[in-house]
Chain A
Amino acid sequence: MGVKKRSPTILLQRLEAYGIRWKKGKMMLGDLRTKRRIRQFFLPSLTFRFLIRVILVAVSAFLFFSYVFLPLRIKGNSMEPTYRNGGINFCWRLHYLISKPKRYDVVVVRFAGSKVMLLKRVVALEGEQVEFRDGKLLVDGKAIDEPYVRYPCNWNLSPRQVERDCVYIVGDNRSMPIENHYFGQASMKRIMGVPLW
């Protein structure tokens, strides 16, 4: 799919249609009506309608960014190299509205609320048996391919079954000793959503 190139003449003609012209390299704002419209756009007068519009936009933005699209700041290195410390992201909360988490999904898991949350990867689903043997992840006794794990890992964890309505989540960075990494099975109720990217 190519990008359609527009000639500068067409652009100038369009701008002229809005009353904007160029004269000796300077932008002329055309007639009084256009000037007034531009000024109104950038410096709107505080009318009742304008205030209502501002309040509606503010309330919508607040609700959207508080309940649907939560802004996140990644702290820590448990998901490196997929997600770096200090990165910015959003938690899309409607992702699991009609579907359930799948293996390899990166999920956002809550504690008591949404101010501090965990970012981990789903490696096993309910009923499956999880095990770590010499750093290799085994689900139901079979080794799972994990291309996102880039750092060396030597974890060993005896087999355990994932309980009902739970998923087993682990970070991508397994270079630290197993006792220093916070992972395990989390209830589905705690899954808030997925990171946007």
Chain B
Amino acid sequence: MVKTKTILIAVLVLLMVVVGILATLFFPSEEKKVKKQFALLSEWVSKDPGESTLTMARKIKSIGTLFAESCDLIDPVHSLSGTYTREEISSLALRSRAQFFDLSLKFYDLNISFPEKGVAKVNLTGKLKGKSTLGEYVDETRELDCLLKKIEKKWRFSQFEVIEVLKK
């Protein structure tokens, strides 16, 4: 009797674990979906030294799909502030990537909140590292506040704000 009960509990626990794993895999939370957008942005901006033209074209084309029709960039220090269209972002990415021999963009400490329905606010640390075609090493770390909007069931970047951690 005791043995049957133990087996039943074990089976139930196992079933719950399996259901949990499947639910996480097939029905990801909104937070995971937002995180995935950042992972894709990181993957598509990054560049390997021997990147082929085909891979580059695919990445540049894909970058645009991550953004809303227009995206605001707020940078109090640099002169990059402004509103950019998807096409402008793709062309900016193309030009910027061309200046690098290898490039890596990584995001850390993503603090995600949903201030209203269809809007996600993310505070994070972005790290850009690479070697330019002139041989200069770039290693920049910045804190960012990003705004994503849910458009056509997909989270798209609509604002990037660079936070001034150290004010000269």
- Write the residues of chain A forming the contact surface with B, with a CB cutoff of 8 angstroms: 76, 109, 111-116, 118, 157, 160, 163, 166, 169, 182-186, 190
Contact = CB atoms under 8 A, between A and B. Distances in A.
A67 to B, nearest CB: 14
B141 A116 contact: yes
B70 interface: no
B30 interface: no
Nearest to B168: A184
A153 to B, nearest CB: 16
A87 to B, nearest CB: 17
A175 to B, nearest CB: 15
B132 to A, nearest CB: 13
A112 B111 contact: yes
Interface stretch (B17-25, B32-40, B42-50, B123-131): B123-131
A78 to B, nearest CB: 10
B143 A112 contact: yes
B166 A116 contact: no
Contacts, number: 55
Nearest to A187: B165
A131 B108 CA distance: 33
* Contact-residue bracket for chain B: 10 to 19
A89 B71 CA distance: 40
A190 B109 contact: no
A180 to B, nearest CB: 10
A184 B167 contact: yes
Q: In this complex, which of B108, B123, B127, B165 has the most chain A Cβ atoms within 10 angstroms of its Cβ?
A: B165
B11 to A, nearest CB: 22
23 contacts: A111-B109, A111-B142, A112-B108, A112-B109, A112-B111, A112-B123, A112-B124, A113-B108, A113-B109, A113-B125, A115-B108, A116-B108, A116-B127, A118-B141, A118-B165, A118-B166, A163-B167, A169-B166, A183-B166, A183-B168, A184-B167, A186-B166, A190-B165
Contact of A111 (B139, B141, B168): B141
Given A116-B127, A186-B165, 17 more contacts: A109-B165, A109-B166, A111-B109, A111-B125, A111-B141, A111-B143, A111-B165, A112-B109, A112-B125, A112-B144, A116-B109, A116-B125, A116-B141, A163-B167, A169-B166, A185-B168, A186-B166
Interface string B103-119: 00000111100000000
A18 to B, nearest CB: 41
A96 B166 CA distance: 20
Interface string B75-109: 00000000000000000000000000000000011
A190 B167 CA distance: 13
A76 B139 contact: yes
